[in-house]
A and B are shown apart, each in its own frame.
Chain A
C-alpha cells in the first residue's frame, strides 16, 4: 500500500488513527496473526470480533507494545512507528483497557491514575493535577469515581472507569478496550457505551475487542472479523448483519444442531430451593435461586459471565457453601456437604475451567482420570493405589472418548484443549452419575470435538440422567437444553423454551424482560 504525499489541492483527508500493514506473529508453532491489514479511521468506534483464540488479543498486544510483530508495519496518524514497549504506545497516544484490569488494588483511584505518568519526582503536584482532571472527566464523560477510594473496594464497572481515566490522563487519543463487557452488568455496559460515544464526540478513536455481536451492532461504526489469526472481513456496521458477522467468525453456518428427540422428563433428580451464596466479604453472589432438574432433561442456564452461574455450579458441587436454602440430590439433602461426599451420592461435575479446576496439568493423563475419584475402592490395592486398575480405566476412557494422542502416560498439559476437555468429560460421564453439572463444555474446543461432546451429553440425557448446563454460548444452550433458565445478578430472572428467539433470551439475560 503506497503512501504518496497528498497534494495540498486535494481534500485534506485525515490519515487513519491506526494502520496495521502485513502484521505477522508466531508463538512457537502457533501462527497467532497472519498478514493482517487493518485501518482504524480517526474518530471512529471500530469493533474487532472473533472467537476465542482468533488472535484479537495478540494483535492488540502488538499494537500496545507488549509483543513485537515478526513482520509488518504500524502507522499512527499516517507516520510509520516502532512500538517496542507500552511506554512507546503511551507516547503515541494509544491507551489500553485490559480485560483483566491492570490496577493496584491497595492504591487509591488517584494513585492508580497517576502511576507511570507522575511528572515530577514528588507526588504532590501530580496528585493535584490528576484530581482536577478526574473532576473534569467526570463532568464531561460521566466517568464518575471518587479519587480517594481504594480501588479494591470499587465495583467492577467503577474499576473499568478508573482504567479509562488512566488512559485519558496519559493523553490517549486512541483507546483500545479488550472484552470490556465480559464482566459488566447490562446496565454497566450501557453506561460504558454512553461514555465511549462521548469520547468519540470529542474526537477520540476507540477500538473495541469482543466476541459479543450485540455490542458490535450497538456501538461500533466499523467492524473487522478475525478468524484463525486472519482478518477475514471489514464492513461498515450499518451495512452488515449479525448473521453475516457470525458466519464470518465461524467460517460456515453457525453451529450445527445435533439431532435430538424431545425429552421425556421423569422424576426430579436435582432440586434447588431458595439458594443463597455469599462471598468472603458477605456480598451476595447467588440469591434466592429455586429450580429443579428432572431425569432425562437438560436444563441450560443462560447469562452474561459473572452473574452467579459459576458460583451456582460450584455450590451444588460442594466447592462453595450455601449461606441459605436447600439442595437435594434425589432424596438426599446435599447442601453444605463436601465435594467428595456429594460425588459419592451420584453427582458428577465438569467444571467451567479445566485448567484451573478440572485437571492437574502437571500430572500424567492417567492420574487425572482418578481426580475426584481417588477414594474409589476399585482404584485401591490395599493401602496403595492400584495403578494398573487406574491405567486400565484411563485406556478405556481414552478409547471411548477418542482422546488423541492415545497415550495415557503423557503429561496432561501437553494435550490440546479439546482433548483435555474429553479427558474431563470422559472421567465425569463414565461414572454414570444421576446428575451431571456441566460448565462451558466446549470452551476452547475445536469444532469436531464440540459435536462429539454434544452428542455425548444428549446420549446421557437419553439414558434418563439429569444435566445442568452452564454456557456463555447462547447457541450451545439453545441447541442442547430442553429448558432454559436465565440468570442475572445472581437471580434466576426467567425461564423459557430453547426455541425462544435469541434476541428475547438476550433481553431476559440483561434482566430487562421476563
Chain B
C-alpha cells in the first residue's frame, strides 16, 4: 500500500519495520497499564502464560486465531486490489445467517456431511454482502469505505430483525435461534485427538482452524500464482496500467470484494457451527475489525497474516486471563492494544522508516569505506 520501498533490504522491510512498529504499540500499551496502577511486565507474564502456558489456553488462543486468519485474509485480499474493506464484520454477520440456515435445515445430520454446505453458505452469504459495495464502487463510483461501513450497520439491523421476528426461538430471553443438534456441531479438536492419546484440554478449537490454514494457502496461491491475483495486484497498484493490459477494472473490483467477503464469511463456520452452535446477535464480536489490524501487521501476506492472527489470538486469550487475575485490567485492554497496533503498524508505518533508512545508509557507507 505504501510507496517508499526499495531503500531497505526486503528482510528489514518485512521483519524489522513491523517489529519496531509493534514494539512502539506495546510500549504505549505498557504506559496505559502503568497509568491504571498495574505492573506492565507482570501483565505480560500473565497474558503469555494464560495464552500459551497450558493446553486449554493454547486451544483458546488458536480458536481466536482462526477467526482472525479469516478476517485478516479478507481485508488483505481487498488490499491487493487497492480496496479497503471495512465491512468484514457485516459480511461475517450475514454469513452466520447462511451457516445457521444450513445447520437448522440439516439439523441432526452428521457434521461432516453438513460442513461442506455450511462452508458454501458462509462463503456465499459473505460474498453476497460484499458484492453490493463492490458493485456500487465499480459501476456507480461510490466510495467503498463508506459503503462497507454502512453495510455493517445494515447487517446488524437485519440480524436483529430476523432473530427477533423470524428465526428467534419462541420464548427466549435473548434473540437467538435454537441450538443445533449435538451431531451437527463441529466437534472440538480435543474430541478428535483424545482417541489418539492426545489431550489438548477443553477449548472451542475445532476443525475450522484447518480450514483457516487452508484458506491462507489458497490466498497465497491466488495472489501470487494465479492470473486473477496478478490482475488484482496490477489493478491495485496502477489502475491505468490495468486498463492498458486489458483487465476489466469493474470485474476485478467485484470479484476481489466477493472473495474478501467470502473469506470473512468463513468466520461464521467457526463461531456458529463450531462454538456457539446457534445463531445469536453480535457473534462476530469485532473480529472483522481485528482483521484490519491483522492484515496491516501481516503486510497483506498470508504467512504474515497467520502470524499476526496468532499474536492477536494470544492477546485475546491472554487478555481474558489477565482481566480474570487483575480485574483492573479489563478485557478492553486488548481493544486498546489493537487500536495502537493499527495506529503504529498502519497509520504511522512511516514513523520508523526514515530513521531505519538512515541507519542502513550509514552502515552501508561504513561498510563500503
Contact = CB atoms under 8 A, between A and B. Distances in A.
A312 B27 CA distance: 57
Contacts of A360: 233-234, 237-238, 241
B241 A359 contact: yes
Contacts of A318: 246
A338 B246 contact: yes
Given A383-B226, A384-B225, A319 B244 contact: yes
Contact of A341 (B221, B240, B246): B246
A414 B6 contact: yes
A380 B221 CA distance: 14
Interface residues of A, number: 32
A242 interface: no
A252 interface: no
Contacts of A356: 238, 240-241
A358 B231 CA distance: 14
B243 interface: yes
Interface string A363-374: 100010011101
Contact of A385 (B227, B234, B241, B245): B227
B241 A374 contact: no
Interface in B231-274: 231, 233-234, 237-238, 240-241, 243-248
B234 A363 contact: yes
A383 B221 CA distance: 10
A357 B242 CA distance: 8
Contact of A375 (B227, B234, B237, B238): B227
B230 interface: yes
B227 A380 contact: yes
B364 interface: no
B235 to A, nearest CB: 9
B5 interface: yes
Contacts of A370: 230
A371 B245 contact: yes
Given A370-B230, A371-B245, A384 B221 contact: yes
Contact of B238 (A319, A361, A384, A387): A361
B240 A385 contact: no
Contacts of B3: 362
Contact of B230 (A351, A367, A414): A367
A142 interface: no
A318 B221 CA distance: 31
A38 interface: no
A372 B237 contact: no
Nearest to A314: B244
A339 B241 contact: no
B244 A349 contact: yes
- Listed residue (A341, A362, A383, A414) with the most chain B CB atoms within 10 angstroms of its CB: A362
Interface in B193-242: 221, 225-227, 230-231, 233-234, 237-238, 240-241
Given A363-B233, A411-B6, A413-B6, A358 B227 contact: no
A367 B236 CA distance: 14
Contacts of B245: 339-340, 371-372, 374
Nearest to A386: B225
Nearest to B5: A411
B244 A358 contact: yes
Contacts of A374: 227, 230-231, 245, 247
A357 B241 contact: yes
Interface in A314-337: 317-319
Contacts of A367: 230
Contact of B243 (A319, A384, A385, A387): A319
A437 B191 CA distance: 66
B227 A372 contact: no
Interface in A279-326: 317-319
Given A339-B243, A341-B246, A372-B246, A385 B237 contact: no
B226 A384 contact: yes
A385 B228 CA distance: 9
Contacts of A461: none
A162 to B, nearest CB: 28
- Listed residue (B3, B5, B233, B247) with the most chain A CB atoms within 10 angstroms of its CB: B247
- Listed residue (A319, A338, A372, A380) with the most chain B CB atoms within 10 angstroms of its CB: A372
B57 to A, nearest CB: 39
Contacts of B234: 360, 363, 371
Contacts of B6: 411, 413-414
A343 interface: yes
Contacts of B226: 383-385
A356 B238 CA distance: 7
Interface string B1-18: 001011000000000000
A385 B225 contact: yes
A363 B230 CA distance: 10
Contacts of B237: 360-363
Contacts of A384: 221, 225-226
B246 A387 contact: no
A358 B247 CA distance: 13
B244 A372 contact: yes
Interface string B301-325: 0000000000000000000000000
Contacts of B246: 318, 338-341, 343, 372, 375
- Listed residue (B238, B240, B246) with the most chain A CB atoms within 10 angstroms of its CB: B246
Interface in A397-412: 411
A363 B80 CA distance: 12
B205 to A, nearest CB: 32
Contacts of B248: 338
A318 B246 CA distance: 8
Interface string A410-446: 0101100000000000000000000000000000000
B226 to A, nearest CB: 5
A343 B247 CA distance: 12
A371 B241 contact: yes
A260 to B, nearest CB: 29
A387 B225 CA distance: 7
Contacts of A387: 225
B241 A358 contact: yes
Contacts of B244: 317, 319, 339, 349, 351, 357-358, 371-372
15 contacts: A338-B246, A339-B243, A340-B245, A340-B247, A356-B238, A357-B240, A360-B238, A361-B238, A363-B233, A371-B245, A375-B227, A380-B227, A384-B226, A411-B5, A413-B6
The 10 tightest CB contacts between A and B, nearest first, are A340-B246, A339-B246, A372-B245, A362-B237, A384-B225, A357-B244, A360-B238, A360-B237, A371-B245, A357-B240
Interface of B: 3, 5-6, 221, 225-227, 230-231, 233-234, 237-238, 240-241, 243-248
Given A338-B248, A356-B240, 14 more contacts: A340-B245, A340-B246, A340-B247, A356-B238, A357-B241, A357-B244, A359-B238, A360-B237, A371-B244, A372-B245, A374-B245, A380-B227, A387-B225, A411-B6
